[in-house]
């Protein structure tokens, strides 16, 4: 496999979320009060204007968080909340919320 093909294959896996497996225990620890204040202690929001995160698909959550981080999705509050998250934090949070039924 050429180097270019290998790089393309890796990028496709990363973009699709197939190359990353989150740690739901680490995600639960990271979520804490910061996420719970709007999205509820177990990902079910007590306020109608904030979305439920519990049970959402992991790849969807990763995409949405990364869109807030990059500015592709605009919301000043969420951009501030996710700005300091690492890539590992993002996949771990997504794994945690997607694991909740």
**Main-chain dihedrals φ then ψ at residue 34, nearest 5 degrees:** -60, -50
Where are the chain's structural domains? Answer: 21-99
pLDDT tier, 16 (very low <50, low <70, confident <90, very high otherwise): low
Domain 21-99 class in CATH: mainly alpha
Q: How far apart are CA 17 and CA 2, in angstroms?
A: 23
Indicate the helix (H) or strand (E) that contains 7. Answer: helix 3-16
Q: How far apart are CA 16 and CA 8, in angstroms?
A: 12
Chain segment 30-41, per-residue pLDDT in tens: 999 889 999 999
Give the model's pLDDT for residue 14.
60
The reported pTM is 0.79
């Amino acid at each position: 496999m050429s180097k270019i093909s290998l790089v393309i294959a890796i990028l496709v896996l990363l973009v699709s979320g197939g190359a990353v497996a989150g740690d739901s225990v680490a995600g639960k620890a990271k979520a804490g009060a910061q996420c719970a204040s709007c999205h509820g202690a177990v990902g079910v929001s007590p306020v109608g204007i904030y979305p439920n995160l519990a049970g959402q698909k992991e790849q969807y959550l990763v995409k949405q968080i990364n869109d807030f981080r990059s500015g592709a999705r605009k919301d000043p509050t969420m951009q501030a909340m996710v700005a300091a998250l690492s890539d590992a934090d993002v996949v771990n949070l997504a794994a945690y919320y997607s694991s909740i039924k």
